[in-house]
Structure 1
Amino acid sequence: MSRPSSPYAPRPEEERQPIPDPAAPPFAPPAAQALLSDREISLIRASVAVVEPLAADMAVYFYAILFTRHPEVRPLFPPGMDAQRGRLLRALLRIVDLVDDPEGLVRFCGHLGRDHRKFGTLAAHFPAVGECLLASLARFAGPAWNAEIAAIWTKAYAAVAQVMMSAAEQDAAVRPATWPATVVHRLSRGHGIAEITVRPHLPYEYTAGQYVSLETPWWPKQWRYYSAANAPREDGTLTFHVRAVPGGTVSEALVHRAVVGDVLRLGPPMGDMVLDAATHRDLLCVAGGTGLAPIRALIEEVARRGGRHQVDLFLGARTGAELYGVDDMLRMAQRHHWLTLRGAVSHEHIPGIRGSLPQVLAEYGPWYQHDCFLSGPASMVASAGETLTLHGTLPDHIHHDPFETPVLSAR
C-alpha cells in the first residue's frame, strides 16, 4: 500500500462516516453473545493489519482532524500529545484483540468509560471521536477500505461507545470522577525511586493489586499509572513506588519535586490482577523492579485474610543492588510462615540466586498447581509467562495487567 501524501492534512473530499445516535439504547451484550460475526471479526482484524505499519502517523492524523473539526474537545487533552497518541493505539489494538470476547470487551470498555470521566469526557464527544476515527482508518487503509468495512467499524464503534457511556453514567451516580489526595509521607528508596504516600480527601475504595492514575499540579491533564503498594488501610492512605524515568515528566516530578503537603489527583482504580481472581490455594508471585508494588499489596491482602494461601515470591533484577524491596519482603517472610522469598539476579554472580527470573522459575517449578501473579517490565512479564505456560501452567491461572496498559511502562 502506498503511503498517503501529506498525511496530516484532511482531504476536502473525505466523506464523514455516519455514527449512530449516542442517545440510542445502551449496548449490553450477554457474555455468551458475539458482538460481531466471524466474517466481521476477520474483516476488522484485516483492516487493522493494513494500517498497523502506519499506526503512529494515523494517530497524529486522527487528533489533527479531531481538533480541526471539533475544537471544543481540545481542552480535554494535555498540551503535549505524544503519550496520548500512544494510548489511543494501545486502546484500539486492545479492543480489536478482544472483539471475539464479548465479556472481556465489555469489561475493558467499561474500565475505559469510567477512567475517561477524569478527562471531562461527555456523551456528546463520542460521535466526534467516532467520526474522526473512521475517517482516519479509511484514509490510511486506502484501497482496503470499502462500504462493508465502514459499516462493520460503525457497528463496532457504536457498541464500544455505548458500553463506555453506560459505564460512565453508572459510575457518576456513585462516586466522583477524581479524588484530590495530599502527600503525607515521602521516602527516597535510592536508584531514582521514591515511596510516596497520599491521603485522599474523600473515601477511595480499591482492591489490592489494582493500579491508579495520578495527576500532579505541575503537569495538568498528564496522567500516569502506578500500582498501590498496599492493601486498603484503615486510615485510607495509599503508597506508590515511583521510579523517575528520563524524560518522564510525571515520574520525575513525583520523585524529585513532590513534598509533604502537595495535593495530587487520583483517577479511579483499575485492573483485574486481584486476589479474588485466584482459584488455587497456592500462589506464585513474580516481581521485577517497582513491579513489586502490586505484589506487596496482594501479600498484605493474604495476611489480612488470615494467611489462607501459601505464597512463593520471586524478585528479579540485573544485580544484587537492584533487588528492590528485598529487605522489606524478608521482614514480611519472617512474620508470615506462609510466605517464601527467593531472588534472581541475571548480571552478577551471587551464589544461590544467579540467573534470570524465567530460569529460576523453571528451576523451582513446576507451578501448574498455583495461581501466578506477575508484575514488572513488560519483557520480564512476557518471558516469565512463557516459561510458566511451557511447564504446564494454564493461561487462565497467569494473572498480570495487559501489556497495553501504561502501568507496565509508566512515565
Structure 2
Amino acid sequence: MTIRASLARFADMFAYPLRHSHYVELVNPLWTTHALMARVVEVRAETADSCSLTLRPGTGWRSHRPGQFVRLGVVIGGQRHTRTYSISSAPDREDGCITVTVKAVPGGRVSERLVRQVRIGEYLPLGEPQGDFVLPESMPVHPLFITGGSGITPVMSMLRNYVHEYEVVPDTVHMHYAPRECDVIFGSELDTMASAQRYYQLFRYYTQDGGAHFSAEQVEAACPDWREREVWVCGPSNLLEAVEAHWKKSGLEHKLHVERFHAPIAKGSNSAIPGRVLFAKSATEAPSDGVNNLLRIAEDIGLNPKHGCRMGICHGCDTKLLSGCVRDLRNGTLIAEPGDTVQVCVCSAVGDVELAL
C-alpha cells in the first residue's frame, strides 16, 4: 500500500491541478479514488411507486452493517443532488453489490428520478455507510420490528442478513403498516420468509383498507411479551410518534431504536415571518415564507449547496449566518448571532437573512 500511495502521489504531480484519479474516471468511474461511485446493474420494481437498485460500488467501498444508510447522488439539470437511503441488502454479498430501495415521493426531485428514470449502466455518486440503527453485535436479541411504508428497508437488511449469515431468523415479531396490500414493499419475500422461518412472525396492517393505525391493542395481540423485547421502529412520522408515545407511557422508551427519514419538526406557530434570503457567495437572493427550510429555498432558485442527510444529522449543509435570524425547525430555537453555524436543511428564515452560501 505504501508503494501504491507513493506512485499515486507521483502521478498526481503530472495531473495538477486535478488528480490522476480524475483521468482514471474517464476510463472507469469505479476505479476513482477521489470520489466513490457505483454502477447500476439492476433496477427491479417493488411496487407501483418504489424500486430496488442493485449497485456495484467502486474502489474504497467498505461493507455496511444491516440497518445503515448511504448518500446517493444524481445529476438533474446539470446539478448534483444528494439524498440518503437505507441499504436493503445483507452485507458481503457474493457479487459485491448492494441494493438501495427507493420510494418515489410526489414532487421529490431525486426519488422520482431514481424510481422512474434511472437506467442500468448509469453511474451514481455513493457515500460511505452511516447510521446506528443496527442490531447489537455482542449479544443476541429477540427483536420487535415495527415498520411502515418504505421504513421496512433497513429492517429488510437485518432480516436478509439473518438468513444469509445463520439461515435462521431468531424469535422475531414484525408489525408492518401500509396503505393497501399492493403497497407492501418486499411483500412476496416477506410472505415467503414468514412461511419458511419458524420463529419469524409477520403481521400486516392496511391503513386504507379497513385496517387500524398503530394502537396498544395491536401490540398486545401481536406481541404479548413486547415489554421484554428490544424494539426497532422506522416509518412515517405519525407511526413513530404513536410508538414513542406508547413506550414512553409504559416507561420503556429506553428499549426503542428509532430511524427517521425526516427531521422531527416542532409544532407550527404563528411566528413565521416572511422576508428575503441573501446567499452572499452566490450573489443571489430569494423570497422566504418563514416556513420552508433554507436548503429548499436555495435549490428552488438553482443553487446546489453541499448537503447530505437533509434532516440535521450529518452537518454536511452547515454554513455561517452573516446577518439576520433563523429558526431551527426541530425545536424552535432562534439563531441570531453573526458567525453562528446554520444547518440549512432544518432551519427557516425569520425575516431577512444573509448566509455565507
Pairwise TM-score range, normalised by the shorter structure: 0.5 to 0.7
Q: Which residue of 2 aligns with 1:383?
A: 242
| Alpha carbons of structure 1 residues 177 and 395: separation in structure 2 relative to 1, 3 Å | farther
Q: Which residue of 1 aligns with 2:87?
A: 228
Deviations 1:11-37 (A, max 9, x none): xxxxxxxxxxxxxxxxxxxxxxxxxxx
Flag the structure with more relative contact order, 1 or 2, with Cα contacts below 8 A and sequence separation at least 6.
1
Deviations 1:241-280 (A, max 9, x none): 1111122111111111101000001112111011117866
Query: Would the aligned equivalents of 1:195 and 1:242 in 2 still touch at CA under 8 Å?
Result: yes
- In 1, distance between residues paired with 2:138 and 2:256? 9
Query: Would the aligned equivalents of 1:278 and 1:397 in 2 still touch at CA under 8 Å?
Result: no
Q: Which residue of 2 aligns with 1:284?
A: 144
Structure 1 unmatched runs, 5+: 1-174
Deviation at 1:328, TM superposition (A): 1.2
1:249 maps to 2:109? yes
- In 2, distance between residues paired with 1:224 and 1:208? 19
Higher helix share: 1
- In 2, distance between residues paired with 1:267 and 1:407? 16
Residue of structure 2 aligned with 1:179, choices 36, 41, 60 = 36
Deviations 1:277-304 (A, max 9, x none): 7866311011111111111101122234
Deviation at 1:195, TM superposition (A): 1.4
Q: CA RMSD in A?
A: 2.7
TM-score, scaled relative to structure 1? 0.51
- In 2, distance between residues paired with 1:379 and 1:277? 30
**Percent of residue pairs identical:** 24
1:323 maps to 2:184? yes
Deviation at 1:406, TM superposition (A): 4.4
Q: What pairs up with 1:348-363 in 2 under 5 angstroms?
A: 348-349=209-210, 354-359=211-216, 360-363=218-221
Query: Would the aligned equivalents of 2:68 and 2:129 in 1 still touch at CA under 8 Å?
Result: yes
Query: Would the aligned equivalents of 1:181 and 1:199 in 2 still touch at CA under 8 Å?
Result: yes
1:207 maps to 2:68? no
- In 2, distance between residues paired with 1:407 and 1:227? 14
- In 2, distance between residues paired with 1:399 and 1:336? 24
Residue of structure 2 aligned with 1:333, choices 194, 204, 208 = 194
- In 2, distance between residues paired with 1:356 and 1:235? 39
Q: Which residue of 2 aligns with 1:90?
A: none
Q: Secondary structure at the match of 2:174?
A: strand
**Greater CA deviation, 181-190 or 297-306?**
297-306
1:344 maps to 2:205? yes
Deviation at 1:176, TM superposition (A): 6.0
Query: Would the aligned equivalents of 1:280 and 1:371 in 2 still touch at CA under 8 Å?
Result: no
TM-score, scaled relative to structure 2? 0.59
Deviation at 1:314, TM superposition (A): 1.1
Deviations 1:80-130 (A, max 9, x none): xxxxxxxxxxxxxxxxxxxxxxxxxxxxxxxxxxxxxxxxxxxxxxxxxxx
Query: Would the aligned equivalents of 2:39 and 2:121 in 1 still touch at CA under 8 Å?
Result: yes
Higher strand share: 2
Q: Secondary structure at the match of 1:271?
A: coil
Aligned length: 230
Deviation at 1:315, TM superposition (A): 1.0
Q: What pairs up with 1:28-67 in 2 under 5 angstroms?
A: none
Structure 2 unmatched runs, 5+: 1-31, 264-308, 313-344, 346-357
- In 2, distance between residues paired with 1:304 and 1:407? 32
Q: Which residue of 1 aligns with 2:29?
A: none
